[in-house]
Amino acid sequence: MNSQSSCTEAELNNHQEEIPPPTYKYFPGWTMLGIAGMAQFLSAPGQSFSVAVFKDPMRVSLGLTETQYSLAYGFATIVSACLLPFVGRLLDYWGARIVLPIVAVGLALACFFMSQIHTLTGLYIGFSLVRSLGQGALTLISVWMVGEWFEKKRGRATALAGFGSAFSVMTVPLINSWLITQYGWKTGWVFHAVTVAVCLILPGIFFVRNRPEDLGLHPDGIDPALEPEPEEEKPGQKPRRPLLIPTIESWTVRQVLRDPTFWKLLSVITTHALVGTGLVFHQISLLGSHGVPMNWAIRMMSFQAICATLLMFPAGWVTDRLPSRYILCFSMLCLSLANLIVLTMPAIWMVVVYTFLLGTTGSIFRSTATVVWINYYGRMNQGAVRGVAWSMMILASALGPLPVAMSIDYFGSYNPVLCLFATLPLLAAAAVWSAHPPQLFKDQPETESEPAV
């Protein structure tokens, strides 16, 4: 009897082992990529390029000075930075399938609240909500999804999702300007509330899946078991790259914080956040000081987004093939040169070159600077690691508008802060040049077994 039952159990086990995994003619990761791009587009209510258009109408309506308005924005950004590591840990634990709809509902309500404020206190609360949920949580969710569903194509996939952010920069300032001119700034915030509610909540509920492994799949839709056996190396022949980069051991947040490379990489994203936010937030008045009309200053935001969009995919392609430290160093040189141009502005047409350089930096920031964390430190704790890094980035962006406002309020000129903004990227470029892959991964070549590192 026992022998018969043992045989039966063995037959059942063999039968279960023969059941093939589910097959998909269409890789669901592309759907996740589309939702990630939509999330980046709809993070606009909490982004500087959108808030910048609301600045003067809201400031005048509420009777605030430049410094008061910038302090409220900076305080909200600090709140967002403090909450972001917590959001990252929630993502690693619960996944985007649960966190995304909750954040989308919160952002829609926050935008509606912004349309109802009448006091400085209300502005502090409203900014804290839209910055934490839009610029912070929603953007983190987007890149988390891409990092989970793609590995070998991570740089290009991140660039494709970044098109949502670039298209947002390209269109939202113009939409805001038209809505404010025609209907007032309060209607503009209501429009954002409705857009987020309609376009993001339901897709987040019905279509999002956390990881390809949840569906019996693998990142990029490629089964590692189907990897061809490595060919024997012949003298003078370059070894063939595998179809799928192996998933590497993940670092914990505590290990990452003790790694010097982390701080070198961090110098780049914090410098970009500090300088870029300060320039974009005050772009209308900053370019206006050189005789650039307001409508052209707003259009330059769109042109900057066009440049970032056109360069986004090439940046992602390069990210999958070259060490990230070289690309990040180049972006810092572009940012420094952009500040030198707006500082001197030898001719009005140079504003186009200035905008192109900012667009180039933005394309690298949305591709290389986004995937470098997961490429260096692994998948398992990517939400927590990115949460820590991005919280520091957001703290830097919180400071960005303030020195620009203080420069014009106390010195009557933008020149002092522009000199500072031109120097900081050079220091970051020098630091990131030596940001080799961490010691744990030294045995893996930078350009083969670990793309973009």
Closest by CA position to 49, among listed 146, 159, 175: 175
Domain presence at residue 26: no
Within 13 Å and on the Cβ side, how many CA atoms surround 161? 35
CATH of the domain at 172: 1.20.1250.20
Measured CA to CA, the distance from residue 344 to residue 163 in angstroms comes to: 32
- Amino acid of residue 65: T
Domain presence at residue 42: yes
In the numeric block, the tokens 């989970």 are attached to 148
Measured CA to CA, the distance from residue 296 to residue 298 in angstroms comes to: 5
Number of domains in the chain: 1
Domain presence at residue 66: yes
pTM: 0.72
Measured CA to CA, the distance from residue 247 to residue 227 in angstroms comes to: 14
Within 10 Å of residue 189's Cβ, how many Cβ atoms?
Answer: 25
Measured CA to CA, the distance from residue 101 to residue 96 in angstroms comes to: 8
DSSP reduced 3-state for 319: helix
Domain presence at residue 327: yes
Domain presence at residue 115: yes
Domain presence at residue 229: no
Q: What end-to-end distance do the CA atoms of the chain give, in Å?
A: 60
Measured CA to CA, the distance from residue 397 to residue 393 in angstroms comes to: 6
Domain that holds residue 312: 31-223+246-441
Tell me the H-state helices in 282-400.
283-288, 294-319, 324-344, 350-377, 382-399
Closest by CA position to 274, among listed 416, 358, 400: 400
- Reading the chain (453 residues) residue by residue, the pLDDT tens digits are 444 444 544 443 444 444 455 556 778 889 999 999 999 999 999 988 899 889 889 999 998 888 888 889 888 878 988 898 899 889 888 989 999 999 999 999 999 999 999 999 999 999 999 999 998 899 999 989 998 888 878 888 888 888 888 788 778 988 999 999 999 999 999 999 999 999 999 888 899 998 888 888 888 777 665 555 545 545 555 544 433 334 446 788 888 888 889 999 999 999 998 998 888 878 888 888 888 888 888 788 778 878 877 888 788 888 878 888 999 999 999 999 999 998 888 888 888 999 999 989 988 887 888 888 888 887 777 788 888 888 888 788 778 888 888 888 888 888 899 999 999 999 999 999 988 877 554 444 444 334 333
Domain presence at residue 15: no
- Amino acid of residue 270: T
Angle, CA of 274, 275 and 278, to the nearest 5°: 85
Within 10 Å of residue 281's Cβ, how many Cβ atoms?
Answer: 25
CA-to-CA separations, 177 to 97, 307, 308, in angstroms, rounded = 34, 21, 21
Tell me the H-state helices in 115-247.
120-130, 139-149, 154-183, 185-206
Domain presence at residue 315: yes
Closest by CA position to 247, among listed 300, 199, 293, 211: 211
